Amino acid sequence: MKNFRNKLAVITGGGTGMGRALAEQLTAEGCHVAICDVSAENMAETKQLAEKAATGGARVSTHVCDVSEERQVIAFRDAVRAQHPSINLLFNNAGIGGGGSFVNDDRTEWDKVFGVDWSGVYYCTRAFLPMLIASTEGYIVNTSSVNGFWACLGPQTAHTAYSAAKFAVKGFSEALVVDLRLNAPHVKVAVVMPGHIGTSIV
């Protein structure tokens, strides 16, 4: 995808960090964006920054959504679909850290990290894929991690929930490349494997 003007991008985790940077860069290219996050306050700041950067009448909408909860993802999708029959870009970017030890950490924390970092990708891809297929050109961009290559922060630090989720994102994305090529060739998928980036994820 070479031109973003008048396209529509959905960005999860758009309140801070990489999601915020994506919103700013895309609106600067004339792309409309719909962002979700668990923090309305953070999204308001992102919206202000993205609208300041915007060209070509690019618009920003914000939606409170916990991507680990499928019913919230469906509500987010429905809110976007009420205004747009299709989307062009889906950035499955939302992520949290924690749940390091499978042995010692509380299961609730472990499940929440895995839920946001993997289930959020799954739920959002399920929800928005029909809208991507309805477009003339679509792209799914899934954020994995260097921990999707190497499930470790070093020999003295357990890092199981995050690493397991990011391996799942990587494998899903690689498999989806073939699935889309066979069944929806105008929709592409990429997986991003960032190292440490100075965001508020921790």
Q: Which residue out of 122, 123, 139, 162 is catalytically annotated?
A: 162
The residue to which tokens 């747009």 are assigned? 84
User: Letter for the amino acid at 141?
Assistant: V
- Tell me if residue 139 is catalytic: no
Query: Active-site positions?
Result: 162
